[in-house]
Amino acid sequence: MLQWGLPSNKWAAALTLWGAYSLLRWCWTPLRGIWRHFLRPRRNLTQRYGGTWALVTGGSDGIGEAYSHELAKSGFNIVILSRTLEKMEKVAGDLRRLYNVQVKLVQFDFANFSAPEHVMELHNKLNQISEDVCVVANNAGKAHANPLA
Ligand SMILES: NC(=O)c1ccc[n+]([C@@H]2O[C@H](COP(=O)([O-])OP(=O)(O)OC[C@H]3O[C@@H](n4cnc5c(N)ncnc54)[C@H](OP(=O)(O)O)[C@@H]3O)[C@@H](O)[C@H]2O)c1
């Protein structure tokens, strides 16, 4: 007749424990991922960063648009900064409709940002927004046209 329960042999017990430990270790990473990405409640980011406005450069397309959505979903009002007004207005409409947040737009081109007058232009445009921005997702970037070598 089959006997169920802990193995009487010490070696078998040690191997069973080792197997259980290995199985737990193997499951740990995917289980932690499921918890973090699907089950864990969202942090209160507006409380954490002490404000309600977030600025997303390049927030009208691609990764920046996704940042705009995620931050708006977390309760932030959004300042979108990029070059094309129509693209910003479309995303602003989506954010207002989906998350009931305020959205402001800053039209600016980073292409010549090294020139002092462009830095001042950005400074002035951001001052005109006159909101206390507490999160910046600085997503607009540029790549070098030539190989790095
Ligand atoms: N996608 C990837 O696989 C990848 C990989 C590594 C790094 N990145 C980096 O991640 C960032 C976003 O990439 P993405 O793929 O999401 O880009 P994307 O879809 O082309 O979106 C770029 C965003 O930045 C704005 N933008 C572009 N040039 C600008 C300028 N000169 N001044 C101000 N705004 C400007 C665009 O709007 P307007 O055109 O209206 O200005 C748009 O909102 C970039 O910095 C990119 O280098 C992306």
CA of 60 to the centre of ligand 1 (A): 9
CA of 112 to the centre of ligand 1 (A): 15
**Cβ of 141 less than 6 Å from ligand 1:** yes
pLDDT recorded at residue 46: 94
pLDDT recorded at residue 97: 98
Which of 55, 105, 109, 139 gets mutated to test ligand 1 (max ligand atoms within 8 A of its CB)?
139
**Cβ of 61 less than 6 Å from ligand 1:** yes
CA of 140 to the centre of ligand 1 (A): 5
Rounded CA separation 104/55 (Å): 9
pLDDT recorded at residue 6: 57
pLDDT recorded at residue 2: 54
- Return the ligand 1 atom nearest residue 142 CA: 47
CA contacts within 13 A on the Cβ side of 56: 25
pLDDT recorded at residue 42: 86
**Cβ of 131 less than 6 Å from ligand 1:** no
pLDDT recorded at residue 79: 98
Residues of the chain with pLDDT under 50: none
Residue 5 gets the label, from left (phi > 0), alpha (psi -120 to 50) or beta, of left
